[in-house]
């Protein structure tokens, strides 16, 4: 390795941007800067001079100090022991850093992501004999990483050859050799090459797969406005834009908690330290509704909080997505949440500004859109190199300045993603949570989701969804009229439409993350509530149509209870909802009869 | 090299000094500058190359005679001396005394730049602080270790509100009061004196450290001041185990000073001329607040941000809101209607409230009471708008009830005396008094149990 290291000298320090003179250094190469050994990355070359962005503060570094090229690009370690961990923007383990450097993060630390001394019980794949041809992505064996996640030890992509030896079942450290292959493509052609329980992968290069597949099933998040109105498929890309305080982090944390993914990667990119602590403290206590195991066993955090160096923020989302692709390659459905992609874009802007690149819009460089698109392109459902099916679902929060969705990051993101959950300040101010605006949000995945709902839950889903959305848009129209000429101008039928829309909003769309019963709503319960509310609306509409005064229908006592039902009957109490429906049916029949008799005697 | 003095200043503009031929200078190094009158200024290296060094001069670069300007690199970061003696004292942004008393002597010296708290070392803040103010305690509760700014506007009583919070804030069932770090940037002499007098008259001055940069002090020094103040706060909280409340006023002047320097440096502007790194810069300040594992003290932060032209989307409040854990927004409309404190609850928010209230912390109904008040008030605001279009007389009986509620809510729940210290029970009881004007069917955010227990209307 020593021959691949190129040493040089520092010439200029401009905050995180350091110019070094280092002949032979390559673009993208990792560099150790100065006597403190700060980590950085070459971002541009001009003759013998290289511009390095450093992931740590350069305070105290002087021109004339050494700079050493390490010979490889920014890479992550991929192997068992990632789950349950929290890593910084360049995959250093923050818990170990706390042990080594105390409550505040010191500079120049190099602690590997994976624990070197921990033993893992390795089980070789059956049928792998010496002589078996191997290719990247094939499964050498397994390690039980957590109670639910079987970690498949993969042949690193790019390795191709013939198996010479595979380790027998047993306990191994991460750096133990578990296989030797004759690598036909490696550097010393046809030489034997060792494979370990982990390998490294450069974060800026997407990991290969066999082929891309279309999404087939929605990611179930347990949030009604998402699953029942604006679904996102497993392998899809979604965005949550919204002004500060509208609920982006809450939406993402709810998905991290309750979605039916196998693996959740949560990247805190330039956001608050306390939000990560919230996850760290609460997830080990919470049960995954799908497996019954603790949520932390399937979760991994990447944290570059807003006060941590800005360049590592740019790297953090690539570190996150590379780990996501790695678990996808094992055949898992992975969800990656990036909160917030705007902070990533700002880090890009900051570096490009310091390089004196020409800004195009609001200071952002011209390549913002293409970088964003390339990043989101790493989401998808694929057939892996080992012919399994895996997916990465990517959900990015967007934090538009001043809540203005026409700004560059939001508008470019909107062009790229498939599902858009637009958060509204008006809804958030009225404490209508999640504040996902049904008017401006969209999902390109409704037809596929409809098929899934029809197969798994109820054939009526698509029709009920459409009916609810129609009611909501009628509500907007009618509210405009009311605001012009007052409520007296409305007919009884129209008033009942308003009441129906209110029922949809309060009984279905509003869902508090803090409500123990309602924080996760299973698909059957989602449909039961939606169907109930719209059935009540239909019944009421029929009564009003017969001439029953709307006031009488509106004063039916069960209308308050419908709004509360979501917090009363949990996912395993659907019979409570059915029972309630029967009661409402009787009450309505009563009213109908009363009215018919009244009519008849008139 | 720290002893070497250079007279190679080649250029001075907007607080920046360019030096030539000073090789090997450390980035971030502290600089001492002696001008032609013998006066001393302080600076910091903000860019360093073999052939050229850029120094930010905190006292500014006005009236420098370059040929007679001597520059010394001190080979140390910007730091301050700390000891328990800082309590009761008053300093400037560099940590130099402003009260005519001798400087602090101590072996403990800390770099004011600080470093990031490891998120894995933080503890989630969850201890309810009773401020005695209903709009905050009831609807936007503050917890120990939270950063909760006051968004205000010129002429609004943010200083009075901040002072009232400082006077009244305490943990429920405890009477240990907070140590206060007061950081003033670019404020008027009158405002600074208001705080000094307030703190003196409530007898807490012994527990207060003040860092002051007035409107006519050098603006560049404002870039240091919050960092200096927070270094002191960290010392009090994490070395001396105290619970510290940091009041910073006014962050808008801080950001303006940052813009001034950024413009002089030629940094690419993002919005309204503010540099793209304003977010990260503010975050470095605000994120120094919080709680840490196994440390007994805490830092709670209440910055004041005045919104230029009352515009909450202006970059300074906007970026602040993206960093802090909520905001208390003051309203000119309420102020003009004579309501104190004029807290506009709709855009106000406390993100850390959820874990600090409820059964074991305040009262079991608190979270739902807050949600219900918000829902009623949102509906009432719509009704107010409607009434302004079609006239209140045209409203239905049901709508008129919302109007009455809105008025009572503003006047009695939000409005209170400047010396009125309401317990959280008093706040919640008052909330139920207002809520009970509505029939139970209209109150769907409350549970049936809450209604049975607290609703004051007949069944
Ligand atoms: N689904 C929800 N249920 C209950 N409360 C919610 C929900 N969504 C948001 N909230 C409330 O709104 C607050 C702000 O939400 P959140 O922190 O997610 O906003 P954000 O959009 O991420 O803001 P920022 O951009 O500043 O990070 C939360 O602290 C919580 O009080
Ligand atoms: Mg957020």
The token pair at A262 is 């196998």
Rounded average pLDDT over A4-24: 88
Residues B42, B101 within the same domain: no
At residue A364, does pLDDT exceed 50? yes
Rounded average pLDDT over A167-189: 86
| Tens digit of each residue's pLDDT (9 = 90 or more) over A32-79 | 999 999 999 999 998 889 999 999 899 999 999 999 999 999 999 999
Residues B72, B116 within the same domain: no
At residue A395, does pLDDT exceed 50? yes
Residues B93, B72 within the same domain: no
- B58, B76, B94 — which closes off a domain? B76
The phi and psi torsions of B92 (rounded to 5 degrees) equal: -100, -170
B441 vs A: CB within 8 A: yes
Confidence of residue B209 (pLDDT cuts 50, 70, 90): very high
For residue B361, being part of any structural domain is answered with no
Distance from CA of A17 to the nearest CA of B (A): 10
Please name the fold of domain A4-73: Elongation Factor Tu (Ef-tu); domain 3 (2.40.30)
The token pair at A322 is 């590379």
Contact A104 B114 (CB under 8 A): yes
The token pair at B397 is 């009986």
Tell me, what's the pLDDT at A186?
63
What whole-number distance in Å separates Cα of residue B279 and Cα of residue B276? 7
Does ligand 1 come within 6 angstroms of the Cβ of A306? no
What whole-number distance in Å separates Cα of residue A350 and Cα of residue B268? 9
At residue B93, does pLDDT exceed 60? yes
| Tens digit of each residue's pLDDT (9 = 90 or more) over B345-386 | 999 999 999 999 999 899 999 999 999 999 999 999 999 988
Does domain A461-601 correspond to CATH entry 3.40.50.720?
no
The token pair at A205 is 């290069």
| Per-position DSSP letters for A58-87, written without gaps between them | -TT--TTSEEEEEEEESEEEESTT-TT-EE
Rounded average pLDDT over A573-590: 94
Does ligand 1 come within 6 angstroms of the Cβ of A250? yes
| A248 CA → ligand 2 middle, Å | 5
Confidence of residue A188 (pLDDT cuts 50, 70, 90): low
Q: Which of A457-461, B61-65, B400-404 has the lowest mean pLDDT?
A: B61-65
| A73 CA → ligand 1 middle, Å | 37
C-alpha separations of B20 from B10, B50, B66 in Å: 6, 9, 12
For residue B419, being part of any structural domain is answered with yes
At residue A1, does pLDDT exceed 50? no
| A248 CA → ligand 1 middle, Å | 6
Confidence of residue A3 (pLDDT cuts 50, 70, 90): very low
The CATH number given to whatever domain includes residue B168 is 3.40.50.12240
| A275 CA → ligand 2 middle, Å | 8
Domain of residue B303, residue span: 80-355
Give A171's strand partners.
A121
Please name the fold of domain A211-444: Rossmann fold (3.40.50)
| Tens digit of each residue's pLDDT (9 = 90 or more) over A406-452 | 999 999 999 999 999 999 999 999 999 999 999 999 999 999 999 99
Q: Which CATH number does the domain A120-197 belong to among 3.90.550.10, 3.40.50.300, 3.40.50.2000, 2.40.50.100?
A: 2.40.50.100
Checking ipTM against 0.90, whether it exceeds it is yes
What whole-number distance in Å separates Cα of residue A334 and Cα of residue B66? 61
Rounded average pLDDT over B226-244: 96
- B311, B330, B355 — which closes off a domain? B355
Confidence of residue A2 (pLDDT cuts 50, 70, 90): very low
CB B124 within 8 A of CB B351: no
At residue B1, does pLDDT exceed 50? no
B18 vs A: CB within 8 A: no
Kindly give the number of the ligand 1 atom that is closest to the alpha carbon of B354. Answer: 31
For residue B139, being part of any structural domain is answered with yes
Tell me, what's the pLDDT at A258?
95
Residues B406, B450 within the same domain: yes
| Average pLDDT of every residue of chain B | 92
- B35, B55, B76 — which closes off a domain? B76
Give B57's strand partners.
B43
The full length of chain B comes to 459
Tell me, what's the pLDDT at A586?
92
C-alpha separations of A221 from A521, A527, B195, B425 in Å: 8, 14, 50, 37
Contact B124 A307 (CB under 8 A): no
Residues B259, B404 within the same domain: no
Confidence of residue A189 (pLDDT cuts 50, 70, 90): low
Give the rounded percent of residues in chain A with a pLDDT score beyond 70.
Answer: 98
Residues B260, B335 within the same domain: yes
Tell me, what's the pLDDT at A580?
95
Confidence of residue B84 (pLDDT cuts 50, 70, 90): very high
Distance from CA of A540 to the nearest CA of B (A): 18
Kind of pairing between the strands at A263-269 and A419-420: unpaired
For residue B227, being part of any structural domain is answered with yes
Give the residue extent of every domain in chain A.
4-73, 120-197, 211-444, 461-601
Q: How many CA atoms lie within 13 A of B456 on its CB side?
A: 10
Query: Could you tell me the strand order of the sheet in which B170-171 lies?
Result: B142-143, B128-130, B170-171
Distance from CA of B329 to the nearest CA of A (A): 12
At residue A229, does pLDDT exceed 50? yes
Which residue, B169, B101, B160, B102, is CA-closest to B130?
Answer: B169
Confidence of residue B2 (pLDDT cuts 50, 70, 90): very low
Residues 6+ apart with CB under 8 A from B46: A15, B16, B27, B28, B54, B55, B56, B265
In the numeric block, the tokens 């006292």 are attached to B59
Ligand that comes closest to the CA of residue B348: 1
Q: How many domains does chain B have?
A: 3
Enter the pTM of the model: 0.94
């Amino acid at each position: 390795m020593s021959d691949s290291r190129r040493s040089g000298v520092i010439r200029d320090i401009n905050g995180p941007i350091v110019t070094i003179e280092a002949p032979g250094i390559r673009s993208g190469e990792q560099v150790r800067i100065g006597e403190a050994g700060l980590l950085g990355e070459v971002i541009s070359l001009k003759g013998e001079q290289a511009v390095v962005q450093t992931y740590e503060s350069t305070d105290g570094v002087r021109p004339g100090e050494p700079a050493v090229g390490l010979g490889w690009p920014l890479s992550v370690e991929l192997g068992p022991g990632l789950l349950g961990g929290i890593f910084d923007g360049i995959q250093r383990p923050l818990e170990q850093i706390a042990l080594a450097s105390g409550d505040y993060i010191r500079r120049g630390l190099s602690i590997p992501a994976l624990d070197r001394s921990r033993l893992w019980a390795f089980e070789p794949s059956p049928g792998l004999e010496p002589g078996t041809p191997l290719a990247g992505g094939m499964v050498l064996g397994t390690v039980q990483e957590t109670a639910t996640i079987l970690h498949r030890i993969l042949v690193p992509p790019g390795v191709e050859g013939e198996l010479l030896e595979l380790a027998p079942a047993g306990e191994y450290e991460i750096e133990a050799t578990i296989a030797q292959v004759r690598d036909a493509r490696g550097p010393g052609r046809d030489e034997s090459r060792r494979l370990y329980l982990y390998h490294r992968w450069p974060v800026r290069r997407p990991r290969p797969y066999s082929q891309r597949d279309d999404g087939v099933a929605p990611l179930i998040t347990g949030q009604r406005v998402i699953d029942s109105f604006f679904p996102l498929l497993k392998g899809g890309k979604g965005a949550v834009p919204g002004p500060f305080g509208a609920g982006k982090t809450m939406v993402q944390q709810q998905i991290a908690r309750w979605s039916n993914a196998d693996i959740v990667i949560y990247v805190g990119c330039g956001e608050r330290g306390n939000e990560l602590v919230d996850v760290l403290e609460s997830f080990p206590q919470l049960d995954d509704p799908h497996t019954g195991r603790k949520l932390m066993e399937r979760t991994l955090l990447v944290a570059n909080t807003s006060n941590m160096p800005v360049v590592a923020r740019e790297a953090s989302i690539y570190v996150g997505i590379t780990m996501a692709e790695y678990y996808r390659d094992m055949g898992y459905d992975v969800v990656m949440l990036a909160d917030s992609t705007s902070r990533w874009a700002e880090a890009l802007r900051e570096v490009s500004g310091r390089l004196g690149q020409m800004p195009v819009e609001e200071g952002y460089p011209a390549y913002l859109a293409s970088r964003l698109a390339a990043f989101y392109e790493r989401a998808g459902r694929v057939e892996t190199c080992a012919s399994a099916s895996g997916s990465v679902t990517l959900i990015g929060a967007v934090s538009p300045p001043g809540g203005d969705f026409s700004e560059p990051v939001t508008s470019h993101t909107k062009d790229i993603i498939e599902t858009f959950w637009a958060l509204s300040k008006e809804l958030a101010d009225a404490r209508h949570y999640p504040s996902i605006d049904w008017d401006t949000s969209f999902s390109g995945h409704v037809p596929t989701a409809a098929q899934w709902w029809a197969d798994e839950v109820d054939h009526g889903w698509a029709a009920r969804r459409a009916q609810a959305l129609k009611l909501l848009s009628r509500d907007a129209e009618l509210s405009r009229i009311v605001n012009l000429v007052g409520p007296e101008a409305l007919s009884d039928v129209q008033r009942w439409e308003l009441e129906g829309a209110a029922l949809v909003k309060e009984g279905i769309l509003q869902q508090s993350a803090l409500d123990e019963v309602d924080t996760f709503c299973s698909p059957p319960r989602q449909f039961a509530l939606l169907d109930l509310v719209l059935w009540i609306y239909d019944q009421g509409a029929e009564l009003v149509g017969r001439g029953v005064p709307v006031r009488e229908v509106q004063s039916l006592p069960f209308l308050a209870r419908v709004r509360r039902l979501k917090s009363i009957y949990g996912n395993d109490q659907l019979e409570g909802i059915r029972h309630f429906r029967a009661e409402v049916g009787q009450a309505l029949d009563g009213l109908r009869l009363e009215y018919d008799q009244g009519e008849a005697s008139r | 090299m720290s002893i070497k003095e250079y007279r190679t200043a080649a250029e001075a503009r907007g607080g920046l000094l360019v030096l030539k031929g000073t090789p090997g200078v450390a980035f971030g190094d502290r600089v001492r500058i002696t001008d032609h009158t013998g006066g001393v200024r302080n600076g910091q290296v903000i860019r360093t190359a073999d052939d050229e060094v850029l120094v930010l001069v905190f006292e500014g670069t006005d009236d420098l005679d370059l040929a007679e300007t001597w520059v010394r690199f001190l080979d140390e970061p910007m730091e301050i001396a700390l000891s328990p003696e800082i309590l009761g004292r008053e300093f400037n942004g560099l940590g130099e005394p402003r009260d005519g008393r001798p400087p602090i002597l101590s072996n403990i010296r800390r770099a004011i730049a600080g470093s990031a708290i490891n998120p894995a070392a933080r503890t989630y803040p969850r201890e309810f602080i009773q401020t005695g103010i209903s709009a905050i305690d009831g609807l936007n509760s503050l917890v120990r270790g939270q950063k909760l700014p006051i968004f205000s506007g010129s002429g609004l009583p943010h200083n009075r509100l901040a002072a009232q919070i400082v006077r009244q804030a305490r943990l429920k069932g405890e009477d240990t009061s907070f140590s206060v770090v007061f950081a003033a940037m670019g404020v008027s002499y009158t405002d600074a004196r208001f705080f000094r007098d307030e703190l003196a008259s409530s007898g807490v001055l012994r527990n207060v450290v003040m860092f002051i940069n007035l409107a006519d002090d050098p603006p560049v020094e404002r870039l240091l001041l919050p960092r200096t103040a927070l270094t002191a706060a960290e010392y009090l909280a994490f070395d001396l185990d105290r619970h510290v409340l940091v009041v910073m006023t006014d962050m808008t002047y801080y950001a303006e000073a940052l813009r001034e320097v950024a413009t002089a440096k030629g940094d690419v502007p993002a919005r309204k001329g503010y540099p793209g790194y304003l977010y990260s810069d503010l975050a470095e300040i605000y994120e120094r607040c919080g709680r840490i594992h196994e440390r007994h003290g805490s830092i709670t932060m209440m910055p004041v941000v005045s919104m230029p032209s009352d515009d909450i989307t202006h970059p300074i409040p906007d970026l602040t809101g993206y960093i802090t854990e909520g905001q208390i927004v003051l309203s000119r409309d309420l102020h003009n209607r004579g309501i104190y404190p004029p807290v506009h609850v709709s855009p106000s928010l406390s993100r850390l409230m959820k874990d600090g209230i409820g059964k074991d912390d305040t009262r079991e109904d608190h979270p739902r009471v807050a949600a219900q008040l918000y829902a009623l008030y949102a509906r009432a605001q719509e009704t107010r708008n409607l009434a302004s279009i079609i006239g209140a007389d045209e409203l239905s009986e049901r709508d008129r009830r919302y109007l009455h509620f809105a008025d009572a809510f503003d006047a009695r729940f939000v409005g209170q005396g400047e010396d009125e210290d309401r317990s959280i029970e008093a706040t919640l009881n008052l909330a139920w008094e207002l809520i009970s004007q509505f029939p139970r069917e209209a109150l769907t955010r409350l549970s049936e149990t809450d209604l049975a227990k607290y609703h004051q209307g007949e069944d």
